[in-house]
Structures are given as structure tokens and as C-alpha cells.
Amino acid sequence: MSMTAEINSPATTAHPRHTHFAAWACRLPFIVTLCIFLSPLAALAQSQSQENGKCPPETRKDDTVDTLHDVKIPDPYRWLEDQKSPETRAWIEAEDKCTDAYLKHARDRDAIAKRLTELMKVDEFSLATERAGRYFFAKRNKDQDLFVIYMRSGLNGPDQVLVDPHSLSPDHSTSVGLLEISKDAKLIAYEVRLGGADEVTPHFMDPDSRKDIPDQLPKADYFGLSITPNNKDVYYARTTPDGPRVFHHAMGADPATDQIIFGDGYKSDKIVTSELSEDGRYLTIQVIYGSGSTRSEIYFKDLQNDSPVKPIQNDLDNIFFGEIEDGAMYVRTNWNAPHWSVYKVDLSHPARDQWKQIIPESDATIDEMTPAGGKLIVRFVQNAVSHLKIFDADGTPSGELSLPSTGTVDGVSGHWDSPEIFVEFNSFSIPWSIYHYDLKKNQLDVWVAPKVPIDSANYVIDQVWYPSKDGTKIPMFLFYKKGLAKNGANPTLLTGYGGFDISSTPEYHAVAVTWADRGGIFALVNLRGGGEFGEAWHHAGMMEKKQNVFDDFIGAAEWLIENKFTDKNKLAIEGGSNGGLLVGAAETQRPDLFRAVVCSYPLLDMLRFQKFEEGPYWVPEYGSADDPEQFKYLLAYSPYQNVKDGTKYPATLFVTGDGDTRVDPLHARKMAARLQAASGSDQPILLLYDTKSGHSGGRPLNKQIEENTDILSFLTLQVGQQQNAQPAQQK
């Protein structure tokens, strides 16, 4: 699912426990950015478009043809890959101008913007982290654009501002997030992010004086940063031009002299992470192959004895995630357990034959594990719904948290030596709320909940199952207002993800609520390729089996029509990143089935994706056209290569921006040009492009509201939602 928490998301939570790197690798927001700058070249392009009576204007084709494995592959818009060329910039500005003019025709823009403002301009918090009686978190007040980093002395003490990013950039495009807090709460690390880029710059601060200290690490992608208990050393993992590396930084030293302690020989197609144990003695190092979807290795280093880095696991083609506490490593893995299990590894006897399985595989998928309070807090996903269970350190069951509704546990924060944990929960009509749980008292309380004008009792969440093309039963959530009639004419927005072992569970989105308020159905389908039903479900939708994902999605659309929820003239689809690939493939394979498509930050040229930005991370999930066998199935579904001249394509809005340093925006540029030239319908093919937006969020709230308004305006123009639509009574 592409409409992730970045719609209203907090700044990065401090000390995230056991990051799911598949989620990092490919998820992205539904929202997009519109920002138009008219240069003389753009003005010239617009003048030409007006003379030709076309907006957007015709795009120049060139004669580029690649020969891959004896197959000729035309690429007439290769020139649009050059993001900085004057011709590309003029083309982008001309496209944006046309998009802006079109979206202004939506008569309900003001009503859409008003409802989005009500839903999004609210006080919002991130998960908190407790250290030495202090609580650190990010908060965005309802009248602010960005999240501010705060500290409290005591759970419910007054908020004290530590870092406010609003003064860092006039347009509020620079954001901050917590990275780490020292054990004594006397030192914090925070990141500064420009626009939506993945790269950040870590800074350090004394929270007592509220002043930065001189140490500042280089701008890069970071995958773990830990401060030792004496506050004298920092261990961190980041990307370098040579590949990922783990570094040791002595506070006060020049970062250019930081020592590499792990990573030599690993190339840029790997992700390397690092994390200190609570007592500061052990450093856990993990190597994730690509986006973490097929294989990982685990190592550890005893810092107390300065022993060499030693492997826990580096020879199996399975996924292993480990965390060290109290002299033991707790390992979550799909080794011999497609639904995952948990092992306890004694670091004094780490050989595999000494491992002890403490939480066995069950019919529910183990999706995350957080060591806290001397226990293991484990998130399960069963039938695409989150459950949170507690286990003792030996794996003995110790209870389950009663969650408020069918929905999603988005995060858990806690520490091994503290009984306090914080839980973030949300659902389609329940905004992100933070709960405080005391493991000793077995008490769950709401810590903060945004005051959003939503009455959850007015909405319905249904889960339905339907057969895909090969007969596999696929689940789908339907979210709508009570009283909806199954009359075959409800505007419906269908979304999904289907990749990288990521589970798509019910989550809150202001766009989905606004859609439902206007009489529409929001449909979230749990496609193969995701993690909802374990590794077999994931593998059934990756590599040469990727077509199953598209078949599942097309099957969902057909089911909605056959069961009188909607029809093809009222059906819109949306997806981003891997979900952008999803809707791009669905559109090129079944252009007759959809009225409108929103395709955000997408992968669309699957023969060249591995050559750009973080594309090498995703080869284990998709394959690569460099391989002759993988080339065959990639060519068969790659959206860019499967556009057919004269086909009547649905209305399409591509969303991307220069700030995307994860999925190169060249995909959306080339595909927009290709569809504009090829489509035989009179439906608009538009590009919404921003110079700062990207995968990693950080955009100001007012921009988010504007962007969501643009997308809902586009969809409303296509499927005909009415202002303040009142659903008919159920027949």
C-alpha cells in the first residue's frame, strides 16, 4: 500500500527497534507535491502547446534502440532520463503547467480541501522513548507545518522544545527526526533531511543546554546509529561510494577519521545495519541482501573485550533479524518457518546447533519483535490484521494487549531495562494514537490521541475474499460510510502493494476518510508478494511470479464490479513505488477496466530500473534484465515497454519529483510521455511533479493538504463524486 503513514507521519522515532528494511526499501506516501516554476524554456514550450492546440504538448522522440539478449528494445524517451538538461526541465515545467490548469476545473476543490484540513490540521505525536525518567518524542501542533523534537521530564510533564525545524528553510522543506538518545538522557542524535531525500545529516545535542555540540556526521543513508552508555563513542552504519560500512566515531574527533569496523567488500546492492545492546557491550551487525526480501546475515562484536566481529549466521538463504540483550541474541527468522519463529542464542555458545527456538511458528505471521522490560513484545499479522502478544525471555506466553479495533500496530518502542512501552495504533477511521503500557502493572492507557473530527461508528470495515486468476483466495478490506447501497455505481478507489514481504493492514489516511465521506468506497487488497501470510505468500508474488500480483489486483477490480459495488466507469486505482509498478502494469494489461489511475513515485521501466538510484537493492525481488532468463518475464510485464499505440488508456496522473533519491523520477517522466503519445482515448495523461518531494516525506503540512487536494480533485473529475454526498440507505 502506498498511502503510508507519511501523510500525517511523525518525524523519525528515536531508536527504532529492529527496523523492517523491506518497508524502508520500497514504501512511499500517497501524497504528492505540485510546484510550478516557469522558465523561458517552459514558456516557449507552453506557447508551442497553445499553437498546436495541445496541452501537454507533443514530446520529442529520439531513435534510441537497445539490443538486449538479441531483442531490440526501442526507448524513444531516453532523453528524459537526464533530469538536469534544459530540455527536460522545460518539458517538466510545461507538463506541470497543464496539470495545474486541468486540476483547477474540479468544482469540489474547496470542499475537498476543507475536509482534508479538518482531518490533517491536528496535534500529532510520534512514539516516545524513555531514558532516565525523560521522554523524547516528535510532535506537530495543528498550526505547524513540521514535526518538532520535544523532551518531557516525567511521563506527563510539560513539553520542552529541543529542535524546531521551521526556521531551517523558508518553505519548510527541511525536516528533523530523532535518531538516538543516550542511556542517561544527556546526549541525543537527530537527523536533518532536505526535502524528500533519503539522505540525512546527523547532528548531536546536549538536551540540558539545548545546544548542538560540534560533532556532525556526513550526509548519507543511515541504517542505525547508537551512542555508548558513557556518551564517548558512537557506532553507526551508512552508505558510502564503495558500499555500506559500519563506523566507530569518537565524540570530539573529526568524522573523516572515523574507523571502519565492518563492511569491506560489500557493494551498494547490500544494506548493512548496526545496533548496540542496552548495556553497550555488544554491537549487532546485519547484512541485508537487497531490500531484505531473500537473505540476511548476522554478526556481533564484543566491544568490552574488543574481540573480532563474529558471525551468528552467514551461510543460509533465509532472513534473520537479531537483537542482543542480557548476553543473548533474540533472532526472528523465516528459516524452516515460513510464518517466522524466534530463537534465543547464547553468545558464549553461538553455534547453530546450540540455538533454542523459544517462539515456534504458528498460523499467524510474526511481523516484528521488540525486546523490552525483560520480555519480548511480538507483533503478529493474522488475516491482514495486527495482534500484539507478550512473551517472557524464555518464550513463555505472558499475555496479549487488547487493541481497540481491527487495525494496525505501526510501532512499538521500549528498552530492556524499563517496564514501559509505547504502542502506536491506527485503523481506517482511527487516527494514529499512542498508548502507554506498563509491563509490571499490565495496564494499557491512551497517552496521546489526536482530536480529529471523525466518528468511527459511522464507518464500516468489511473484509472479503475473492478468487484470483489461478483460484488463490485473496483478502480485501472495504472501507465506507454506513448506509452504502450496492447499486453498481459507487465511486471506488482500489489500492494495494504486493511486494517486499510488506503486510498491508488497515491504516488511517485522511484521503481514505475524505473519499468515504463523499460516498465512495476505499478498497485495500492484500496481494501476493506481501507478508500477510508468510514467506510462501511473498515468494508467490516475486521474481518470475510477479504476474500473480497483477492478476490478484485485476481480480479485485473484477470482483468489485461483479458484486455491484462499482462499475468500470466509477473505478479508480492508486499505488506508489512498488505499488506504482502495480497500477502501471494493471493499466497496460487491462486499460478497459479502470476509469482513472494515480501512479506515484513508480517503477515503470523494468529493463533499466537496476541502473539508477537504489535500484540494485531490488534485484533480489524483481530480477534484472541483465540476466537473459529474468529479462524475458520482466519484458512481458514492464509497463513502459508494454504501452500499445492507439489503445484507449484511462485518465492517468503520474506523481513524482526531483527529491526522490530512491526511485528515480525518470520512470514517471518517460511513462507519461509514452502514454500521452500512444493513448487513443480523450482522457488526460498528466504529470504532477515537484522539485523537492520524494520517498522519505518531510514535507510541510500545508503542502500535504494541497497535494492531497490535487489528487482527490483529479479522481473526482473522473469518477464524479459529489460534494457532501449522502449515501443511500442499504437495500
pLDDT in tens, 321-352: 999 999 999 999 999 999 999 999 999 999 99
State residue 39's pLDDT score: 34
pLDDT at 703: 83
Q: In whole angstroms, what is the distance from residue 31 CA to residue 706 CA?
A: 9
Which residue type sits at 20?
Answer: H
Question: Where does 12-125 have alpha helices with state H?
Answer: 21-26, 40-52, 86-103, 109-120
Q: How far apart are the first and last CA of the chain?
A: 31
| pLDDT tens, residue by residue, 649-692 | 999 999 998 888 889 999 999 999 999 999 999 999 999 998 76
Q: Helices in 543-665 by DSSP H: which ranges?
A: 547-562, 578-589, 619-622, 628-637
Q: Calculate mean pLDDT across residues 564-584.
A: 97
pLDDT attached to residue 549: 98
In angstroms, the Cα distances linking 653 to 595, 636, 730 are 12, 23, 33
**Active site includes 695?**
yes
Query: Are the C-beta atoms of residues 361 and 482 closer than 8 Å to each other?
Result: no
Which of 679, 695, 696, 713 is labelled catalytic?
Answer: 695
What pTM was computed for the model?
0.90
How many whole angstroms separate alpha carbon 228 and alpha carbon 185? 12
Say if residues 510 and 119 touch (Cβ distance below 8 Å): yes
30 — pLDDT class (breaks 50, 70, 90): very low
How do residues 448-497 score in pLDDT, each as one tens digit? 999 999 999 999 999 999 999 999 999 999 999 999 998 999 999 999 99
* Choice among 274, 433, 577, 696 that is catalytic: 577
Tell me what percent of the residues of the chain surpass a pLDDT of 90.
84
Taking the CB of residue 157, how many other CB atoms lie within 10 A of it? 12
According to the model, what pLDDT value does residue 722 have? 53
Q: Is 316's pLDDT higher than 90?
A: yes
pLDDT of 293 = 73
Q: Answer yes or no: is pLDDT of 695 > 70.
A: no
**pLDDT tens digit sequence for 356-405:** 999 999 999 999 999 999 999 999 999 999 999 999 999 999 999 999 89
State percent of the chain over pLDDT 70.
Answer: 90
Q: Is the pLDDT of residue 730 over 50?
A: no
Encode pLDDT of 125-145 as tens digits. Answer: 999 999 999 999 999 999 999
What pLDDT does residue 55 have?
A: 83
| Residue 5: band (very low, low, confident or very high) from pLDDT cuts 50, 70, 90 | very low
Using CA atoms, how far apart are residues 193 and 603, in angstroms rounded to an integer? Answer: 23
pLDDT at position 26 is 37
- Does 28 have pLDDT greater than 50? no
Q: Which three cell numbers stand for residue 685?
A: 495523461
Contacts with 269 (C-beta within 8 Å, 6 or more apart), sequence order: 289, 290, 616, 617, 619
**Over 90: is that where the pLDDT of 698 sits?**
no
The pLDDT of 102-131, averaged and rounded, is: 95
